[in-house]
A and B are shown apart, each in its own frame.
Chain A
Amino acid sequence: MKNFIGIDIGSLATKIVLINDGNLLDHKTERSTYDFKRVGHNLFDEILTEHHLERKDVFVMSTGYGRNTIDIADDRVTEITAHARGAQYFFPDASSVIDIGGQDSKAIVMSKKTGSVVDFQMNDKCAAGTGRFLEVMAHALEVPIDQFGVLAMQSNKPASISSTCTVFAESEVISLFARGASKQDIASGIHKSIARRVAGMAKRIGVSPKLVFCGGVAKNDAVKKYLEEELGFEIIRPEYPQLTGAIGAAIIAQEKNKD
């Protein structure tokens, strides 16, 4: 067996990758929707068809919150282990990971000797510190989500957002507007707020330099900048931050099927 598929069924997006001999051959991403099983099946069928593969030619490892319910998986692994392994795929000497996804965020510390996970922390069941927080705030500011980070980078005096709750933060944004704060400063404050929250969680488990920032939110330059400020060191981003979990799952599948 040479072909390994990692499928990461996240709360907002489903990501699938195909690797062969450790090389990333293909990847696809689609919104998970309520019917994430169908989305997963469609992506799986597409990737097999496009690469002229049959079901028996691949080993499938699932991860993400839908890992236990997708029936195409041969095996499953949690997103914690998958992200750690995925980060090491991009950066073999990675020491820690921060992953900010659609509805959760996590920090992971790996052993410098073995590369295995030694500690992790996940956010509570709360949108603060997740991609959802940014989505809600971008909507409140009427800015497309992919432009939100760009807008935040235009400010050098971020507004102070004291609330850690998404609902209250939205009200706070409205009152900041009323007080005449600029859109850029508010956007910047929002990004700083999410970074502060996630960095606090990450510091509690002792993350260190060579930290890989992944998940969909890693594409946002402003979050990266403020995370670096909060942590006090530079962080690194893989080429495909959103695919880290799926790639990690595929690599784990490959390692498990070495013989």
Chain B
Amino acid sequence: MQALEIFEGFSHYLKEMKSQGKKVIAFISHDNIPEELIDAAGFIPLRLIFAGNDELMDASHDYLPPSTCAFAQTCIGLFALKPRQFDFLELVDYFIVSNHCVSDICASEVICKYFNIPRINFYTSYMRNSNSEKYFRLEIAEFRNKLEEIRDAVISDEMIIESISRYNEFRQVIKEINNLKLQGGLKLKLMQKAFLFGPKILPELREFIASNEDSRTNTSNSIDLLLTGCSIFINDILIDLIEEGGGNVLFFDTWIGYNYYSQQFEENAFDNIQNPIDLLASRFVNNIYGDHSVPNFLENRIAHIEKIYRDYNQKTGKKLGIINHIIKFCDHHSLMSSFFKNKLQEKGIQVLNIERDYSRANRGQLSTRIEAYLEMISE
């Protein structure tokens, strides 16, 4: 599956939705944006999940310094670079300004301010306690009001429950894709496409899973890996470099992957539901692996990865490689990367921290780091 196929029909789909009066609500993806509310409002959530390149990063430097997170630079560059690399960005009606991290806030604000896109605020607390849950509920209510104002009609509880249910099924499908015994790059590209289109392509995804359930890509010569840290976004060469170097990502412990589908609700969560906002609030509180999970986010993440490693090791007798992918100047992941690596290495688990931006000049050095790590863990 080539990168271009990910976009096949996407512009056409968005244009068609717009012609039906639907609004496109774009946002810098993270795990607390309640996409179900956007969907329930009859709008199209558009996640910015596109990897950068030199041109996109350069185009952002009129607005923020090069020491800004390379992904945030890319998001700005997507709007700043003319002609735009993705014509469907012209169709964005609103942009959500959120606070997943400092760069998220900065990039969202720059995009709204300088590219004249009306903003919708959605801020969340970094703590997981009763106060932050109350605050989260207030933000959800505010967000719902704003969406109702835009559509000029009420979003009923039933509509929200229906959307939550649809996205729950979507998360299940993402989980099933991640569990397929296929080459990591193929699974990733399918998940990226799914994240772009959303539940609209559930039938296509189901069909893919059904026809590949028993498939086994021969990866016996590859070294199995768990990818954690920052997601690999659309058009990023990193997955290709990993596979060219002899690795195969078995488990995507990133936002495009586990962090997303682990927030799936149990089936019985929908029984006797009084208020759908309770479900969204419970998801926020229970999200122990997300970056907004202070306290103990890192400890939880380390324990979770250690468990996957031990299970794999017990089952196969082999080492599972751990690649911690850090987008340069990503405060969340880069500040914690040494601690993360040291803690796992103390447990005998070798970790490769890859800190990089999207420039082409990185390619050779990235390959060397990946290949050297694979040589190291295969010795």
How distant is the Cα of A125 from the Cα of B280 in the complex, in angstroms? 43
The 8 closest A-B pairs by CB, nearest first: A80-B372, A78-B372, A116-B379, A117-B376, A81-B375, A78-B371, A65-B364, A78-B368
How distant is the Cα of A109 from the Cα of B379 in the complex, in angstroms? 14
Q: Does B275 contact A (CB under 8 A)?
A: no
Q: Does B362 contact A (CB under 8 A)?
A: yes
Name the distance in Å between B179's Cβ and chain A's nearest Cβ.
Answer: 31
Q: Does B314 contact A (CB under 8 A)?
A: no
Interface of B: prevailing SS: helix
Known contacts being A78-B371, A80-B376, A125-B359, is A119 close to B365, with CB within 8 Å? no
**New A-B pairs, 17, CB < 8 Å, besides A104-B365, A116-B376:** A65-B368, A68-B367, A78-B371, A79-B372, A80-B372, A81-B375, A117-B372, A117-B375, A117-B376, A120-B372, A120-B376, A122-B365, A122-B368, A122-B369, A124-B355, A125-B359, A125-B361
Interface size class of B (residues with CB under 8 A): 10 to 19
Residues of B within 8 A of A (CB): 338, 345, 350, 355, 359, 361-362, 364-365, 367-369, 371-372, 375-376, 379
Residues of A within 8 A of B (CB): 65, 68, 77-81, 104, 114, 116-120, 122, 124-125, 204
Q: What residues on A are CB-neighbors of B355 within 8 Å?
A: 124
Q: What residues on A are CB-neighbors of B369 within 8 Å?
A: 122
Q: What residues on A are CB-neighbors of B376 within 8 Å?
A: 80-81, 116-120
How distant is the Cα of A120 from the Cα of B375 in the complex, in angstroms? 12
Residue of B nearest to A124 (CB): B355
Name the distance in Å between B330's Cβ and chain A's nearest Cβ.
Answer: 15
Residue of B nearest to A104 (CB): B365
Partner of B368, one of A80, A119, A204: A80
B368 engages A79 (CB within 8 Å): yes
Known contacts being A81-B372, A81-B376, is A119 close to B362, with CB within 8 Å? no
Q: What residues on A are CB-neighbors of B345 within 8 Å?
A: 119
How distant is the Cα of A135 from the Cα of B376 in the complex, in angstroms? 32
How distant is the Cα of A116 from the Cα of B319 in the complex, in angstroms? 15
